[in-house]
Amino acid sequence: MFLLAFLIIPVCMVIYTAFVTETGSLTFGHFANFFGQTVFTESFINSVLVSLASAFFSSLIAVPLAYLTVRFEFRGALLIQTLGVLPLIMPPFVGAVALQLIFGRSGSVNLLLDEWFGFTVPIMDGLIGVIFVESIHYFPFILLNLVAAMRNIDGAMEESALNLGSRGFRLFRRIIFPLAMPGYLAGAALVFVKVFDDLGTPLVMGVTNMLAPQAYLRITSVGLDDPLGYVISVIMIVFSIAALWASARLMKGKDYATLQKGGSALQKRRLSVWEAVIAYGWIVLVLLVVLAPHFGILLMSFAKVWSFSVLPDSYTLEHYATVFNDSSNMIGNTLLYCLLSATIDVVIGTAIAYLILRTKLPARQWLDYMASVALAIPGLVLAIGYLRLFRDVNLPFTDTPVIASWVLIMLAYAVRRLPYALRSCMAALQQVHISLEEAAQSLGAGRMSVIRRVMVPLMAGGIMAGFVTSFITAAVELSATIMLVSRESQAPMSYGIYLYMQSVSGRGPGAALGVLAVIVVGLGTYFSHRFVERSRATVQSI
């Protein structure tokens, strides 16, 4: 709770600053100006459309992946789930760059199509391109939460349905999917809000007629003094909260909690040969498209010159040598900042989830909205808020100014990623039936020990999903990082990738660092999945 206040104040301060910059006294004049401009209304509509479409296509990718891997006996299910999270590890702007090389105007695919059939596919152009990139970048939000939710479904539910004659798709549609709804909605809402607020992708794709790029262009070109940039930020915040509110609203009045935990999970069933062929085929196809940016980056990291050709001209290991010589400390920095911030996030996320769902605190819903505000705050604006707030503050017990230390970077990560952790934790808690806690309490367990011994272990999957999302997305955060890094020695990998990627003499070293980032964070994700599996096993054995 104290931590929360400490984290929230800077956020509120930014909003406050945003309002104060508008006028000395409050006015809605700027809002009127905003709605008077067709560029902005057009941008607003485009943003909504792109977000909805991305959430839809993300679901198309994520739902079958989750269902197939959780429900069926599947070789490498864990591997697939881990691979499925990889897209998140790639900073969006790097992903878009790599996708250009594969699917772009003169990318490998189009060069081949042109050579073989004499036509090209403009999949990377305009809004369609943005939807394409966003969908394959953000679908893991749905995948992670949905997998966690489906694992929590009581197998008995399925059995009863089976006994009553429900099978196949009907079983999925009527029983399993609805029961996994909290996880799905948590994921889909995140995709929606995230796409709505994403800046990097539209900018790299050259699309300016969306809200986030408009706000960014305003703030950085007209200057920090331009109120319209803040008006857009405020509108984005309001709209993001509205989206989250709507998704929460959908869940209201429904009970998703199941009583039995761990005892009998969903049955894993075997696939017939044909079903297996189709399922594997589908998964391979999806993974091929979804991992295309990673192939692109991998090739780039070994490429000497790759220009207007299907594959690079020649290969080298030089770029990796450059990275190891120059920037190996960045790997450690990334792990340090992201582990700390993700830990802060799940601790606070669990606490808020508990307060909202299990207490009758007045205005507890506002906690949720407040935490979610961070989603829509542009990193640049938050970073400036931090620099202002901590201007003359020193780190406790030292002479080091806070602004010159990495603590601010870590805090910024924690604040901006808190909403992810919170969504997952709330979804997880919604699936824990309150009577389980009541039972523990009636057996004499105190409140703290109920939380520690009953609630948290039962939420483990969801908490882990939150941890992983926060961790991964913090690892690729860029906008606040650029502003807050005050020395190269404290820079994380995302900053290094950005730096190396800005080089006309070749992006090889940037790509190499990107590959390393994917490997490091990917391993982290894999081990946390393993950890969850094992902790589930212990819960079961109790």
Give min distance, CB of 308 to another protein, in A. 3
Residue with Cβ nearer another protein (104 or 514): 104
Structural tokens at position 30: 């700027």
Rounded Cα distance, 531 and 36, in Å: 53
Helix boundaries (H) for 359-455: 364-376, 379-389, 407-430, 434-442, 447-450
Give min distance, CB of 497 to another protein, in A. 11
Rounded Cα distance, 31 and 312, in Å: 50
Residue with Cβ nearer another protein (129 or 524): 129
Give min distance, CB of 233 to another protein, in A. 15
Residue with Cβ nearer another protein (268 or 388): 388
Rounded Cα distance, 347 and 326, in Å: 35
Give min distance, CB of 232 to another protein, in A. 12
Which residues pair with residue 509 across a beta bridge?
Answer: none
Residue with Cβ nearer another protein (124 or 464): 124
Give min distance, CB of 37 to another protein, in A. 5
Smallest CA-to-CA distance from 400 within 389, 410, 409, 390 is with: 390
Residue with Cβ nearer another protein (330 or 456): 330
Give min distance, CB of 44 to another protein, in A. 14
Residue with Cβ nearer another protein (509 or 524): 509
* Contact in structure between 477 and 413 (CB atoms under 8 Å): yes
Is residue 99 classed exposed, middle or buried when 0-12, 13-18 and 19+ CB atoms within 10 A define those classes?
A: buried
Give min distance, CB of 513 to another protein, in A. 11
Rounded Cα distance, 107 and 115, in Å: 12
Residue with Cβ nearer another protein (506 or 522): 506
* Contact in structure between 72 and 267 (CB atoms under 8 Å): no
Smallest CA-to-CA distance from 44 within 224, 190, 212 is with: 212
Rounded Cα distance, 532 and 498, in Å: 33
3-state DSSP assignment of residue 131: helix
DSSP state letter for 535: H
Residue with Cβ nearer another protein (82 or 214): 214
Rounded Cα distance, 177 and 155, in Å: 13
Which residues pair with residue 425 across a beta bridge?
Answer: none
Rounded Cα distance, 185 and 515, in Å: 31
Give min distance, CB of 113 to another protein, in A. 14
Residue with Cβ nearer another protein (31 or 56): 31
Give min distance, CB of 223 to another protein, in A. 8
